Structure 1
Amino acid sequence: MLYIIFRKIRNIYYKRKFYKVGDGFFAHGNFSLKNGEKVELGNNVSINDGVYINGQGGISIGDDVSISAKVIIVSTGLDTNEFASKKRHVDKKIIIGNNVHLGAGAIINPGITIGDNVIIGSGSVVTKNISSRCIAVGNYAKKIKEF
């Protein structure tokens, strides 16, 4: 009983950290959030234990999205064009569509768009946009199946 009350309190706490949160949000454990005021979550989004989200460049997550344990979503990174002289960061928005599953340990890099109805395999590193209705896996993530 006490655990159920704690889970509800934790969900309320996390919901206040985001810019916008739809109905049905659920946090399965603790996760790390930076710049949550630039992150929008749709309906029925679940975030598992150990996830790291940095919303500096903006992040939009659609409806019915599950984010598995240890996923990293970072919308900012070093500017490789001026790396030697300035070590400046560049912010790029990430868009994750509806009905997406991010497998455990996946990494979503700045500026990425993931379409609707997509599964990103565990441990995948997403460095390019992923179109809708597919499964993508690997380092670097590639489509292995369309449906």
Structure 2
Amino acid sequence: MAKIYVYLQFYTSLIRSFLFRLIVKNTGDLTVLGKVTILNSHNLKVGNNVSINHGVYINALGSISIGNNVSISAKAMIISTGLDPNKIKEKKHINKSIVIGDDVQIGAGAIILPGIHIGNNIIIGAGSVVTKSIDSNQIVAGNPARKIRDI
């Protein structure tokens, strides 16, 4: 019974990855593992060798670019839009692009907010909230995410 389950998991992942490529026009080689929510897919660009795990939420209203060799762990959120604090009654949104570089690992439950630029060779710890851009070659973690050390 375990072998059947593993095969079903594998083929389900292949089907999800294929469907993802149909929905997101600018995408390279990627693997989708589990259920993923993507809003405004027309503003999403995905590089090669990208893996997106179960429960990931991506809202690309303000545009999102994901580089090569990126791993997005379970239940991470990448959100390129938010409410304008000066116009809350009108529920007006501000959209800002997010750029994620190459060789980035986003930990489980991490949140990346609008307007963030993440450099190359970055590890973002599980549960981190990224409120400011991150230069290359770092490990960051926490709420808000802070530099732990250089890589």
Please state which band the TM-score falls in when normalised by the shorter chain.
over 0.9
Aligned residues: 145
- Deviation track 1:20-69 (CA, whole Å, cap 9, x = no partner) reads 1112x001111111111110000000000000000000000000000000
Tell me which residue corresponds to 1:30: 35
Deviations along 1:49-95, one digit per CA (max 9) or x if unpaired, are 00000000000000000000000001000011222x42200110000
Identical positions, percent: 50
Pick the aligned partner of 1:59 from 46, 64, 75: 64
Could you say which residue in structure 1 is the equivalent of 2:25?
A: 19
TM-score w.r.t. the length of structure 1 is: 0.94
- 1:9 match: secondary structure: helix
Query: What's the TM-score, normalizing by structure 2?
Result: 0.92
Amino acid across the alignment from 1:114: I
Q: Which runs of 5+ in 1 are unaligned?
A: none
What are structure 2's unaligned runs of at least 5 residues?
A: none
> In the alignment, is residue 6 of structure 1 matched against residue 32 of structure 2?
no
Structure-1 separation of matches of 2:49 and 2:93 = 32
Q: Secondary structure at the match of 2:23?
A: coil
Greater helix fraction, Structure 1 or Structure 2: 2
Q: Secondary structure of the equivalent of 1:136?
A: strand
Q: Residue 83 of structure 2 corresponds to which residue in structure 1?
A: 78
Looking at structure 2, the residues matched to 19 and 115 of structure 1 have their Cα atoms a distance apart, in angstroms, of 24
CA distance in 1, matches of 2:60, 2:17: 19
Partner of 1:40: 45
